[in-house]
């Protein structure tokens, strides 16, 4: 065990009656890191989290959380983790305050600290004015926010967030992102998502998981540059001549034209050269830009699949 790592997995594997949900994952997540597991439905994200928070027994392999083994010391681990499950999990006939108290008390927090912390969370998440209403009357998004707060109330060292912004409106999502971003450094966070922008915005490192396997790992920038040796330029252009189209096709690997938009992809693109060529041919260029590769492209490139949004 390396002292710098908060979470380490060793060939972590889970099969459900022959179906390999998680297939020999090796991860090393540093203390204070925000690590995102990015993958499509059924990739094995939730299964991985469930093994790490000691709800599922691995079929083979193991993992350590702050040096504690998930197979041998589950209750040590439960003391230091906070988990926000994928599905909203709250107690319907309790109010938000009581839901937070339940988790805080189960973690043995002292009442004063618990009170101030839950108050602060309720305010941050915009539920302070509803703190005394039974949560069964809440909207889906409000329940969702409460469910995530319950992972945070006891101020855990290690945080597992399974699709934390699922079902939130864009505004609440933004608030949640900012809140999670502020937790960085202080805590080690493992977050799963199938939103590219979420991983891009929040994560120090991203691991792309598909069919139970880690297929790519790195920072957002690393993934984008290392995985894509292809650049794309998008030009909005009028009065194209057959002549210039032919010339473009001769120079660049892929040239497509649809509704006055020319898309050029190649390993090397020369922005100035292309614009000049178009100008001299008599075409009118209204706009032109080089499109940055996105994680979406990375994912498509690696797995040959689209991520479902």
Ligand X SMILES: Nc1ncnc2c1ncn2[C@@H]1O[C@H](COP(=O)(O)OP(=O)(O)OP(=O)(O)O)[C@@H](O)[C@H]1O
Binding site for another protein (CB under 8 A): 50, 53-57, 74-75, 78-79, 81, 83, 85, 87-94, 98, 102-103, 105-108, 134, 150
144: contact with ligand X by CB under 6 A? no
Q: For Mg ion, which residue of 62, 71, 86, 263 counts as binding (CB under 5 A)?
A: 86
CB of 173 to ligand X, least distance (A): 17
In angstroms, the CA 152 to CA 83 distance is 8
140: contact with ligand X by CB under 6 A? no
Determine contact, residues 188/159, Cβ cutoff 8 Å.
yes
Say whether 206 sits in a helix, a strand or coil. Answer: strand
DSSP per position, 87-98? S----TTS-HHH
CB of 87 to another protein, least distance (A): 5
Nearest CB to Mg ion, comparing residues 22 and 235:
22
Which of the choices Mg ion, another protein, ligand X, none does residue 43 contact, using the CB cut-off of 5 to 8 A by kind? Answer: ligand X
46: contact with Mg ion by CB under 5 A? yes
Determine contact, residues 114/101, Cβ cutoff 8 Å.
yes
Nearest CB to ligand X, comparing residues 19 and 250:
19
Site string for ligand X, 34-73 (x = CB under 6 A): -----x-xxxxxxx--------------------------
In angstroms, the CA 24 to CA 47 distance is 12
In angstroms, the CA 63 to CA 70 distance is 6
Determine contact, residues 15/21, Cβ cutoff 8 Å.
yes
Q: Which of 288, 268, 290 is nearest to 279 (CA)?
A: 288
CB of 116 to ligand X, least distance (A): 34
Nearest CB to another protein, comparing residues 91 and 124:
91
Q: Which position's Cβ is nearest Mg ion? A: 46
CB of 138 to another protein, least distance (A): 15
Q: Which of 141, 139, 127, 140 is nearest to 96 (CA)?
A: 127
E-strand ranges in 17-66 read 19-25, 28-30, 34-38, 60-65
In angstroms, the CA 141 to CA 131 distance is 15
| Chain contacts with ligand X (rule: CB under 6 A) | 16, 19, 21, 39, 41-47, 86, 194
| Chain contacts with Mg ion (rule: CB under 5 A) | 45-46, 86
């Amino acid at each position: 065990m390396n002292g710098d790592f908060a979470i380490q997995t060793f060939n972590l594997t889970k099969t459900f009656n022959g179906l390999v949900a998680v297939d020999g994952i090796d991860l090393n997540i540093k203390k204070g890191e925000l690590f995102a597991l990015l993958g499509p439905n059924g990739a094995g994200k939730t299964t991985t989290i469930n093994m790490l928070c000691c709800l599922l027994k691995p079929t083979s392999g193991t993992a350590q959380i702050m040096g504690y083994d998930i197979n041998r010391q589950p209750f040590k681990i439960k003391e230091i983790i906070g988990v926000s499950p994928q599905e909203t999990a709250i107690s319907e006939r309790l109010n938000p305050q009581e839901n937070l108290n339940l988790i805080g008390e189960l973690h043995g927090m002292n009442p004063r600290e618990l009170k101030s912390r839950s108050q602060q969370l309720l305010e941050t998440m915009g539920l302070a004015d509803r703190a005394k209403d039974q949560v069964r009357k809440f909207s889906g998004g409000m329940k969702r926010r409460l469910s995530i707060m319950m992972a945070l109330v006891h101020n855990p060292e290690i945080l597992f967030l399974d699709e934390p912004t699922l079902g939130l409106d864009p505004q609440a999502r933004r608030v949640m992102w900012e809140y999670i971003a502020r937790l960085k450094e202080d805590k080690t966070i493992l977050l799963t998502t199938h939103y590219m922008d979420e991983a891009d915005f929040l994560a120090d490192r991203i691991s792309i998981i598909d069919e139970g396997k880690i297929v790519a790992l790195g920072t957002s920038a690393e993934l984008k540059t290392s995985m894509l040796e292809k650049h794309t330029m998008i030009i909005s252009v009028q009065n194209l001549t057959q002549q210039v189209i032919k010339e473009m096709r001769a120079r660049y690997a892929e040239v497509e034209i649809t509704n006055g938009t020319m898309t050029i992809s190649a390993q090397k693109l020369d922005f100035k050269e292309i614009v000049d060529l178009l100008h001299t041919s008599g075409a009118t260029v209204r706009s032109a830009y080089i499109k940055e590769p996105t994680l979406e492209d990375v994912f498509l490139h690696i797995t040959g699949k689209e991520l479902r949004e």
